[in-house]
A and B are shown apart, each in its own frame.
Chain A
């Protein structure tokens, strides 16, 4: 971390000179030129930011293996030995296993629901002319820019009156509803790009609309479904605001809430090492999945902004 802060000004100055005045910089070796200096400069700043990104994550991993006393006395020292018991305590005593299970159930249910309902609505909106088509489309898309917190105040009571407060299936329905705007927006654009001829041929051959959709159009839309699926998976897995408002039963908490709960209440006997183990436990699956499916994840997350 020392290196991340001190050298920043130096390359910044030399880089600015190079790019603004554009004087060829004489170099003893005779190798020219601007390109080389710029190259060193760009690697310099890029590495500094890379270190700034990675250091907090590595620090968390390291801390999760330390004893409580050394976390407080020397935050940067390496663990004296690897305290795997932190992880075991977090998993069992601190209910991380329950939080994981709840999260998997909620995200699994809502991801499937979002993709099915979202692609059904998007397909109809993209491919059929009917009165109100544009209105419904903008109703969905408008949901992307509205502050969700405004709706959450009455929503809490809507959900409560339906007896869905603090239930897994209630949370799933709400997750689906709030994932629909982006999903419909993205998939409508995607269905429009697919050729119409295949579906028409199927229809001429006597397939119903429903059958055409499930057997012809959905398989063709697979790349779009994967992108929007990854986008929704990460959004729902990392969701914090919706469960904080609608899911206050300690037994039903999802990962993000559970961790915050542990940290804030400190009800966990001031067991900071266990908390760090929990944090790392929650980080690793997503980071691992990201590294494996790197290309698809980047595509899925940036797809919306590039449209």
Chain B
């Protein structure tokens, strides 16, 4: 297999690696370098300014608000989404009616129907979902307040995205809505591969449904839950939160900076305010947060792998 091996390797790697280095790796390296300059992005001239951008960032209230919201996204969203998804997946897989002589536990009828429907939002663009919900949240003519009026709650008409104390939660709810289905399908596949004998013996030993869930299902699914947690957290810190906040909120990031997140703040500093160097500084902070998040989840979640 030696003949022409290296020529082949170089030939096959050159194009993908070159493209990747030019458009992905090189910009990452550049942006760390730019965070020590006063580059505006508008003119090619710039000079080194040391840690000035970082000092400025530490004293920037909006940066701290964005950081706080981003951390909230990374903690709350995976927690809510994964809990809901585990709950639904458990119901799909063990909620079935017990038949005489049948297995001790069984899936509900129509389980594939539920899985198909739950997955709908996952195939839609988050941009489209965000637009749709922006209309639903409209205080005057939106679908949600109109329901409230319809059921006699005409006095309860929140401003939703216009209310600084509600807006962030409204945005998060949309991300939960759109991602739960993905995890239901993922966990459901994992649960289906757990042998039924394990459940049967647990039930014989007198374990209730909750006990079987926490003692059997969850430990055996732990790896999937953990990687799902990291995946969701990275999305919540990055592209997904950018789309929903940028599209749905006023400002964007408002009202009164109540929904701004790090990724949006980077975008605004670079492409709206002409402060590219400062934007990369905030981007570096986002990078640190993302890597720290992944490391912490992997570390806390480390358990002995269970074989079955």
What is the interface of chain A, defined by CB distance below 8 A to chain B? 1-2, 18-22, 33-36, 38-39, 41-43, 45-46, 49-50, 52-54, 56-57, 59-60, 71-76, 117-118, 120-121, 123-124, 128, 130, 136, 139-140, 143-159, 173-174, 176-178, 180-181, 184, 200, 203, 208-210, 213, 234, 237-241, 244-245, 255-257, 259-260, 263-264, 272, 276, 279, 282-283, 286-287, 289-291, 294, 297-298, 301-302, 305-306
Contacts and interface: CB of A to CB of B under 8 A. Distances in A.
Contact of B117 (A53, A173, A234, A256): A53
29 contacts: A1-B143, A19-B210, A21-B208, A39-B108, A42-B95, A42-B108, A46-B91, A52-B177, A53-B177, A72-B141, A73-B141, A74-B146, A120-B15, A139-B20, A147-B238, A149-B286, A150-B280, A178-B24, A208-B8, A209-B4, A209-B8, A240-B125, A256-B128, A276-B135, A279-B132, A286-B123, A287-B124, A290-B123, A298-B115
Interface centre among A147, A245, A255, A276 (most CB of B within 10 A): A147
Contacts of B87: 45
Given A18-B209, A147-B238, A46 B88 contact: yes
Nearest to A41: B95
Closest 8 CB pairs of A and B: A42-B95, A35-B98, A238-B125, A150-B283, A22-B208, A177-B23, A19-B209, A42-B91
Given A21-B208, A153-B283, A178-B24, A147 B9 contact: no
B134 interface: yes
A38 B95 contact: yes
Given A38-B209, A54-B120, 6 more contacts: A19-B210, A46-B88, A57-B120, A149-B286, A153-B279, A200-B1
Q: Dominant SS at the A interface?
A: helix
A149 B147 CA distance: 38
B192 interface: no
Q: Interface residue tally of chain B, by bracket?
A: 35 or more
B27 A238 contact: no
B127 interface: yes
